[in-house]
C-alpha cells in the first residue's frame, strides 16, 4: 500500500546559497520544494549592510528558476562595526528578517565575525527593541576548548550572558548538535528557538572517522557522540515548537572538501525531505514532520505559514544524483547511508 503524507510547503530556516555559478547551480535544489529560506550572509566579502543584502537578494531572485515563487529571507552578518540604524531601517522595510552572529573564526567565512561581544551590545539592544531576531553560530573559538565541547562552552560563556544582558532579544541557536543545546532551549521561555539540520539527525562523529575519514560528513558544528544525535532526534520529533528545520545545506566543491584541509559543510538541499520523512517515520513521528518543516519556524519568526502544500509518498527506493554539477566543479550530495523510500511527488 502506498503511504502518503501532505505537508504545508516547508521552509528552510538556515541555508547557504553562495553566489555566482554556485548560486545558480544549487538554488533550484531548494526552490523545488521550499517556499522560503533564511539566507546565510557568509559570502566573501560578507553581507554586512542593507545595500549588500539588497544586492544579494536581487542576485538570488535573478537566479530563481522560471515560475518559482521562492522567497529568500535575507540576513545581515553582524560585525563589530555594524551600524544599528542601517540594520533597523533594513528590518523596518522588510529587507532583512534576521541578523547572524558568527564568533570570528568559528566556521566557514567567519573571519569578519565578532571577537569582542561587548562591541555589539548596542546593536543587540537595538535588535531587541525593534524585534529583529538574532541567529547564532554557537561555538566558542578558544583554542583551549576541545572542538566537541565548543557548543556547550558557548552556551555558558557567551549565549547565556548575552541573553541576560539583552532582555527581549529573540535568539535562534542555529544547527544545534548537542543535548546541552536541546536542554538550554527547553529550559528557557519563548524568546529562544533552535534549528536542527537534517544531517545531524543522521550522523554521529563515528560516521566521520570510522573506517577512513569522510570529508563529506565534516561540517561545523561537528557531529557529536551518539547520545547527542539521539537528543536531537527526540527534540525534532517531539512536536515542541521551539525546534524547527534549518538544513544548513552548505555547498562546497568536491575539490575543496576532498583536500588536505577540507572545508566544513554538508550539502543536503537535494534529498533533505526524503531523509527527514525517513527519520520521522523511524521515530514513529510522521505526524510531527509538518510542525518541524512548515509550522514551528514561521511561528517563531512571526510569519504566516505557507498556504500551499506538498505531498510525499513512500514507494520503491528513490535515487538522487551523487553530485550536483556546477561551473566551479561537482558538489557531492549528502549520503544518509540508508536507502530512501519517501519522495515529494
Ligand atoms: N556548517 C558548515 O559546516 N559550514 C557553513 C558555515 C556554518 O553554517 O557554520 C558554510 O558556510 O559552509
Ligand atoms: Zn554555522
Ligand atoms: Zn550554516
How confident is residue 247, by pLDDT bands cut at 50, 70 and 90? very high
Least confident stretch, 188-197, 229-238, 239-248:
188-197
Q: Where are the alpha helices (DSSP H) in the chain?
A: 20-31, 50-63, 84-92, 121-130, 150-154, 160-165, 179-186, 205-209, 226-236, 254-257, 272-282, 289-290, 296-301
**Residue 140, φ and ψ in degrees, nearest 5:** -75, 160
Among all chains, which residue has been given the C-alpha cell 534549528? 195
Q: Cβ(34)–Cβ(65) under 8 Å?
A: no
The answer on pLDDT for 189 being more than 90 is no
Rounded to an integer, what distance in angstroms lies between the CA atom of residue 138 and that of residue 221?
8
Q: State the residue range of the domain holding 67.
A: 3-344
Task: Place 161 in a pLDDT band, splitting at 50, 70 and 90.
Answer: very high
Query: Mean pLDDT across the stretch 229-243?
Result: 98
CA 58/CA 124 separation, integer angstroms: 27
**pLDDT (tens digit per residue) in 23-80:** 999 999 999 999 999 999 999 999 999 999 999 999 999 999 999 999 999 999 999 9
Query: What are the φ and ψ backbone dihedral angles of 126, each rounded to 5 degrees?
Result: -60, -40
**Overall number of domains in the chain:** 1
pLDDT at residue 1, rounded to an integer: 60
The cell for 262 is: 577540507
The residue whose CA is least distant from atom 2 of ligand 1 is: 265
- Ligand 1 touching residue 248 (CB < 6 A): yes
Say whether 312 sits in a helix, a strand or coil: strand
Annotated binding-site residue numbers for substrate: 16-18, 42, 137, 220, 252, 264
pLDDT in tens, 292-304: 999 999 999 999 9
Beta strand 192-196 with 243-245 is parallel
**CA gap 196, 80 in Å, rounded:** 27
The answer to whether the complex's ipTM is over 0.95 is yes
Distance in angstroms (rounded) separating the CA atoms of residues 196 and 247: 7
The mean per-residue pLDDT over the stretch 237-243 comes to 98
CA neighbor of 242 nearest in space, from 177, 171, 303, 185: 185
Pick from 172, 233, 227, 174: nearest CA to 200? 233
pLDDT at 190: 79
Residue 79 C-alpha cell reads as 560585525
**What confidence score (pLDDT) does residue 81 get?**
97
Per-residue pLDDT at 217? 98
Q: Is the CB of 139 under 6 A from ligand 1?
A: no
Q: Residue 198 — very low, low, confident or very high, per pLDDT cuts 50/70/90?
A: very high
Q: Is the torsion defined by CA of 104, 109, 112, 117 positive or negative?
A: negative
Ligand closest to the CA atom of residue 15: 3
C-alpha 81/C-alpha 246 separation (Å) is 27
Rounded Cα distance between 131 and 301, Å, is 10
pLDDT at 28: 98
The average confidence (pLDDT) of the chain is 97
Distance between CA 257 and CA 208 in Å, rounded?
13
Q: Which ligand is nearest to the CA of 263?
A: 1
Say if residues 142 and 125 touch (Cβ distance below 8 Å).
Answer: no
**Alpha-carbon distance 84 to 291, whole Å?**
33
From the CA atom positions of the chain, what is the Rg in Å? Answer: 19
Whether 100 has a pLDDT exceeding 70, the answer reads yes
Q: Cα–Cα distance between 194 and 298 in angstroms, integer?
A: 13
Enter the pTM of the model: 0.98
In angstroms, the CA 197 to CA 267 distance is 11
CA dist., res. 70 & res. 67, Å (int): 9
Do residues 96 and 76 make contact, with C-beta atoms less than 8 angstroms apart? yes
**What CATH code is carried by the domain that includes residue 303?**
3.20.20.140
| Pocket of ligand 1 contains residue 17 by CB under 6 Å | no
* 324 CB near ligand 1 (under 6 Å): no
Write down the pLDDT at residue 270.
98
Tell me which residue has its CA closest to atom 8 in ligand 1.
248
pLDDT in tens, 116-157: 999 999 999 999 999 999 999 999 999 999 999 999 999 999
Cell numbers for 114, please give them: 565578532
Handedness of CA 123, 128, 133, 137 (dihedral sign): positive
Can you tell me which atom of ligand 1 is nearest the CA of 42? 11
Using the structure block, give the residue that is written with the C-alpha cell 525534532: 236
Amino acid at each position: 500500500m502506498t503511504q502518503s503524507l501532505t505537508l504545508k510547503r516547508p521552509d528552510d530556516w538556515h541555508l547557504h546559497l553562495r553566489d555566482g555559478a554556485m548560486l545558480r547551480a544549487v538554488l533550484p535544489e531548494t526552490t523545488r520544494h521550499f517556499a522560503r529560506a533564511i539566507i546565510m550572509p557568509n559570502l566573501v566579502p560578507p553581507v554586512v549592510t542593507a545595500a549588500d543584502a539588497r544586492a544579494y537578494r536581487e542576485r538570488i531572485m535573478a537566479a530563481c528558476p522560471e515560475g518559482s515563487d521562492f522567497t529568500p529571507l535575507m540576513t545581515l552578518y553582524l560585525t563589530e562595526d555594524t551600524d544599528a540604524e542601517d540594520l533597523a531601517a533594513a528590518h523596518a522595510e522588510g529587507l532583512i528578517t534576521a541578523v547572524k552572529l558568527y564568533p570570528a573564526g568559528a566556521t566557514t567565512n567567519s573571519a569578519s565575525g565578532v571577537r569582542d561581544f561587548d562591541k555589539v551590545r548596542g546593536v543587540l539592544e537595538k535588535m531587541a527593541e525593534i524585534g529583529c531576531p538574532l541567529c547564532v553560530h554557537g561555538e566558542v573559538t578558544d583554542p583551549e576548548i576541545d572542538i566537541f565541547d565548543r557548543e556547550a562552552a558557548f552556551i555558558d560563556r557567551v549565549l547565556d550572558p548575552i541573553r541576560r544582558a539583552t532582555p527581549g532579544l529573540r535568539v535562534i541557536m542555529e544547527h544545534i548538535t548537542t543535548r546541552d543545546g536541546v536542554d538550554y532551549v527547553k529550559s528557557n521561555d519563548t524568546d529562544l528557538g533552535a534549528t536542527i539540520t537534517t544531517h545531524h539527525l543522521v550522523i554521529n562523529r563515528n560516521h566521520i572517522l570510522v573506517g577512513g575519514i569522510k570529508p563529506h560528513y565534516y561540517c561545523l558544528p561537528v557531529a557529536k557522540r551518539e547520545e547527542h544525535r539521539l537528543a536531537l532526534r527526540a527534540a525534532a520529533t517531539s512536536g515542541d515548537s521551539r525546534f524547527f528545520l534549518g538544513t544548513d545545506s552548505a555547498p562546497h566543491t568536491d575539490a575543496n572538501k576532498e583536500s588536505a584541509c577540507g572545508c566544513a559543510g554538508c550539502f543536503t538541499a537535494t534529498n533533505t525531505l526524503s531523509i527527514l520523512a525517513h527519520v520521522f517515520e523511524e521515530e514513529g513521528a510522521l505526524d510531527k514532520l509538518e510542525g518541524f518543516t512548515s509550522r514551528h519556524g514561521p511561528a517563531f519568526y512571526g510569519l504566516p505559514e505557507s498556504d500551499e502544500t506538498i505531498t510525499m509518498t513512500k514507494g520503491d527506493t528513490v535515487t538522487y544524483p551523487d553530485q550536483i554539477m556546477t561551473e566551479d566543479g561537482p558538489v557531492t550530495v549528502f549520503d544518509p547511508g540508508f536507502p530512501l523510500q519517501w519522495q515529494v511527488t
